[in-house]
């Protein structure tokens, strides 16, 4: 809550900045389209800067995903969350400091409540929504809800300047500056600003993680072979639902596909607050046959992303090969009409409600899964106006502006300088799966999941939120900003949207004061205000982890883990150094079933080669990792203690020297059979004698 000393001043500023509310002849200093968390923070900052503002919101509930189930905040490094975003999470902490806020459990029973912390990073949806509404009331911000931009004729421009926007109900809002705070970028697109949808090719910006990604799609992947056909083994019977008929496409190639959407469900196992999963209208059991077959292989990780929220609730997110992500069913959403979007959202609702109902009730679901799922349900005290279902679908990515500055993988890795930082990101370069297809062996596979750490925070440039000057001079876009697909996968976190929105509003107000376009805001003046508002713009060196060793700099033949063939589900990580490439793989610990990684190559010249294995040591590793070396004279079995640091350059352990033929593959197999801890597979090196 606001301190008593600031409340009267803020109230006065709000009254001065927001009148008149209903007068369509008024010209607002800043018109914000979108009631997301970014939209609310931009409005608050505008009032703090002494300017008038209005939020035109297609939503009826404010706060976007932050208030719609995404309570398990993907913050990355919390040290770089400052300004209004930090204030917001501090406000939530004040709520949970009140003992009366704990209804289904005591504060001390919830491990993510820390009395001495300044902020609360995990929370219930209604608590977040209430906080956003408090901001609106305290700053007297006018909000027009259920107000949908007329995307065909609702943006009036005078040259390169937007002068007004009109909604489908005929209301017009005039402004000096405009901010598009929507997840879809509808105002940006209607204003004639360049944008893109889908994945660029790696070649477009010289990236490595963009475009089609089958080799890195190791997470949320099918751990065992699953038949994709309606009649198992019979391709002529057709494919099961949600499987694309064509192959995935060329590795690294661009396409129109968009990473999967879902709803972040708030579930509870508190009997007095639980609503059992109903059978949704339109439920089709056949749509979950693929999951039934997958469960039949022994997969049991359905509950791994029931992330605990206060009061015995969850933020339930996608986990595994078949989960809450509705893979492949959203490609046309970003540019679709409102009617078509409603159809897509409705289909996602039926899919996800049906998934919950299937897991809790279907006899094909193993008893150990079904009995647990039956104890969960929707939280009765959340989303009460929408039958306890989240009111905002998780639009992980839609349109992305294309401006003079494009944030790419290189900026996330801090390999390109950022001269005009307005905020900091730090989350993984993260894309959820994009499509489901049939591999060469006739089994179903997922494609598109990428989770690569930038190994620390990175700066985001002011140029990424302003359009090209010859397209629009008074619009800022802090959500659908100018970034490549894989870079946006890191930026697209709610705290970052709030940070960028505050910076966008600050720039908009300064552009008004200086009577310049948004492209010509004086960065020195902007920076001074952002620093004053406690935005974090510089990166402490202590927050940056060393990068992996570039395999191209190593002698001999090096096969990195992304080039290896995997059996079973392996996870990617980069939390323990040293390692080769961008990350290393781990077997996810004591999971049922044997998993293996096969490193295969053909030596250029027959002869004897020393074989080395790279891994990251840790006390939780297995002390007896089985390794098979297939060489010209047969097979050799070795065991590696991965609790001990690799003796060669702290990176490699020698597996011995063997003869290999240029006419047949040299094969190294690492497995977790009989392991007594985590098994790591990073890289294999061949050095000729």
pLDDT digits (tens, 9 = 90+) for 380-396: 999 999 999 999 999 99
Res 591: pLDDT: 65
Q: Of 479, 507, 541, at which residue does a domain stop? A: 541
- On whether both 24 and 160 belong to a single domain, the answer is yes
Same domain, 601 and 484: no
> Can you give the pLDDT at residue 197?
98
The neighbour count for residue 639, using CB atoms within 10 Å, is 11
Q: Which residues share a beta bridge with 460?
A: 423
Span 26-46, average pLDDT: 98
Dihedral Cα 140, 142, 143, 149, nearest 10 deg: -150
Tell whether 561 and 525 lie within a shared domain: no
Q: Left (φ > 0), alpha (ψ -120 to 50) or beta: where does 45 sit? A: alpha
pLDDT band for 21, please (50, 70, 90 cuts). Answer: very low
Same domain, 497 and 557: no
The larger pLDDT score, comparing residue 1 to residue 309, is at 309
Tell me which residue has tokens 């053909």: 602
* Helical H segments across 55-210, by residue range: 83-97, 125-138, 186-190, 202-205
CA 436/CA 446 separation, integer angstroms: 4
Range of the domain at 70: 7-196+463-541
| Lowest-pLDDT choice from 20-29, 102-111, 160-169, 558-567 | 20-29
Tell if the pTM clears 0.85, that is, is over it. yes
CB atoms within 10 A of CB 538: 10
| Same domain, residue pair 27 and 84 | yes
Answer yes or no: do 51 and 82 share one domain. Answer: yes
473 and 576 in a single domain? The answer is: no
Task: For residue range 134-165, list pLDDT tens digits in order.
Answer: 999 999 999 999 999 999 999 999 999 999 99
Q: Are residues 125 and 16 in the same domain?
A: yes
Residue 93 neighbours by CB under 8 Å, 6+ apart: 117, 118, 119, 120
Q: Are 349 and 261 in contact (CB under 8 A)?
A: no
| 437: β partners | 445
Do 555 and 534 fall into the same domain?
no
Please give the DSSP secondary-structure letter assigned to residue 518: G
CATH of residue 642: 2.60.120.260
617 and 471, same domain (yes or no): no
Do both 14 and 139 map to the same domain? yes
When divided into structural domains, the chain yields a total of 2
* CATH number of the structural domain spanning residue 506: 3.50.50.60
Give the span between the Cα atoms of 121 and 124, in whole angstroms.
Answer: 10
The alpha carbons of the chain give a radius of gyration, in whole angstroms, of 26
pLDDT in tens, 343-357: 999 999 999 999 999
Report in angstroms the alpha-carbon separations of 347 from 151, 260, 625. Answer: 23, 13, 46
Q: 125, 121, 131: which is closest to 76 by C-alpha? A: 121
Q: What is the sign of the dihedral through the CA atoms of 100, 101, 106 and 108?
A: negative
Per residue in 522-580, pLDDT tens?
Answer: 999 999 999 999 999 999 999 998 889 999 999 999 999 989 998 887 888 888 889 99
CA distance 330 to 250: 21
Half-sphere exposure of 162 toward its Cβ, with a 13 Å CA cutoff?
35
The per-residue pLDDT for range 71-98, each reduced to its tens digit, is 999 888 999 999 999 999 999 999 999 9
Torsion angle, alpha carbons of 574, 575, 576, 582, to 10: 10
Q: Give the tokens for residue 261.
A: 């959407």
- Distance of alpha carbon 171 from alpha carbon 33, whole angstroms: 13
Compute the C-alpha angle 10/13/17, nearest 5°: 140
Q: Is residue 376 part of a domain?
A: no
Q: What is the mean pLDDT of residues 302-329?
A: 96
Burial of 174: CB neighbours in 10 Å, binned 0-12, 13-18, 19+ = middle
pLDDT at res. 10: 42
DSSP for 404-428, written as a single string: SS-B-HHHHTT-S--SSEEEEE-S-
CA–CA dist 554, 9 (Å, integer): 62
User: Is the domain of 587 the same as that of 617?
Assistant: yes
Kindly report, residue by residue over 402-419, the tens digit of the pLDDT: 999 999 999 999 999 999
Of residues 393, 409, 537, the one with CA closest to residue 83: 537
């Amino acid at each position: 809550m606001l301190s008593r000393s600031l409340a009267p001043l803020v109230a006065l500023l709000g009254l001065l900045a927001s009148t008149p509310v209903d007068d369509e002849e008024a010209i607002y200093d800043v018109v914000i389209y979108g009631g997301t968390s970014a939209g609310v923070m931009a409005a608050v900052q505008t009032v703090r800067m002494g300017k008038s503002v209005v939020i035109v919101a297609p939503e009826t509930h404010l706060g976007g995903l932050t208030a719609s189930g995404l309570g398990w905040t993907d913050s990355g490094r919390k040290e770089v969350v400052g300004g209004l975003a930090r204030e917001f999470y501090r406000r939530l902490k004040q709520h949970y400091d009140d003992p009366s806020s704990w209804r289904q459990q005591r504060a001390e029973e919830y491990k993510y409540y820390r009395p001495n912390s300044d902020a609360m990073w995990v929370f219930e949806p209604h608590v977040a929504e209430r906080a956003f509404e408090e901001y609106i009331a305290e700053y007297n911000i006018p909000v027009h809800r259920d107000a949908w931009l007329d995307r065909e004729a609702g943006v009036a421009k005078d040259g390169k300047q937007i002068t007004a926007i009109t909604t489908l109900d005929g209301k017009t809002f005039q402004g000096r500056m405009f901010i598009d705070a929507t997840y879809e970028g509808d105002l940006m697109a209607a204003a004639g600003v360049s944008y893109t949808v889908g994945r660029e090719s790696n070649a477009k910006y010289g990236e490595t993680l963009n475009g089609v990604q089958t080799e890195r799609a190791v997470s949320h992947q099918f751990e065992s072979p699953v038949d994709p056909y309606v009649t198992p083994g019979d391709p002529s019977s057709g494919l099961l639902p949600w499987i694309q008929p064509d192959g995935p496409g060329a590795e690294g190639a661009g396409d129109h596909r968009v990473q999967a959407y879902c709803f972040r469900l708030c579930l509870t196992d508190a009997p007095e607050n639980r609503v059992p999963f109903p059978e949704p209208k339109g439920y089709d059991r056949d749509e979950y046959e693929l999951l039934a077959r997958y469960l039949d292989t022994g997969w049991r990780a359905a509950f791994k992303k029931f992330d605990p929220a206060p009061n015995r609730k969850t933020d339930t997110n996608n986990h595994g090969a078949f989960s809450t992500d509705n893979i492949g069913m959203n490609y046309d959403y970003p540019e679709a009409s409102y009617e078509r979007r409603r159809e897509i959202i409705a289909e996602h609702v039926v899919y996800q409600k049906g998934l919950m109902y299937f897991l809790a009730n279907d006899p094909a679901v193993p008893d150990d899964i079904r009995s647990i799922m039956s104890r969960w349900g929707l939280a009765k005290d959340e989303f009460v106006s929408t039958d306890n279902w989240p009111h905002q679908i998780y639009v992980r990515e839609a349109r992305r502006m294309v401006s003079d500055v494009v944030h790419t993988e290189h900026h996330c890795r801090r390999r390109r300088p950022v001269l005009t930082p307005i905020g900091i990101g730090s989350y993984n370069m993260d894309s959820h799966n994009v499509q489901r297809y049939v591999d060469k062996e006739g089994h179903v596979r997922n494609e598109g999941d990428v989770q690569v750490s930038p190994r620390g925070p990175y700066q985001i440039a002011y140029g990424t939120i302003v359009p090209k000057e010859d397209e629009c001079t008074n619009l800022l876009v802090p959500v659908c900003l100018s970034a490549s697909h894989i870079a946006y996968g890191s930026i697209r976190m709610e705290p970052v949207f709030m940070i960028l929105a505050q910076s966008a509003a600050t720039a908009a107000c300064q552009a008004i004061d200086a009577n310049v376009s948004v492209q010509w805001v004086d960065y020195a003046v902007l920076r001074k205000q952002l620093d004053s508002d406690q935005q974090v713009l510089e990166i402490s060196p202590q927050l940056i982890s060393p990068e992996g060793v570039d395999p191209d700099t190593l002698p001999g033949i090096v096969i990195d883990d992304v080039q290896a063939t995997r059996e079973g589900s392996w996870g990617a990580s980069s939390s323990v150094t040293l390692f080769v490439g961008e990350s290393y793989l781990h077997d996810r610990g004591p999971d049922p079933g044997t998993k293996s990684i096969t490193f295969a190559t053909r030596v250029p010249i027959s002869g004897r080669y020393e074989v080395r294995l790279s891994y990251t040591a840790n006390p939780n590793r297995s002390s007896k990792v089985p390794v098979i070396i297939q060489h010209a004279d047969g097979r050799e079995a070795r065991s590696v203690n991965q609790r001990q640091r690799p003796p060669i350059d702290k990176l490699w352990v020698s597996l011995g020297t063997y003869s290999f033929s240029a006419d047949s593959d040299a094969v190294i197999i690492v497995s977790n059979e009989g392991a007594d801890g985590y098994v790591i597979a990073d890289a294999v090196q061949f050095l000729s004698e």
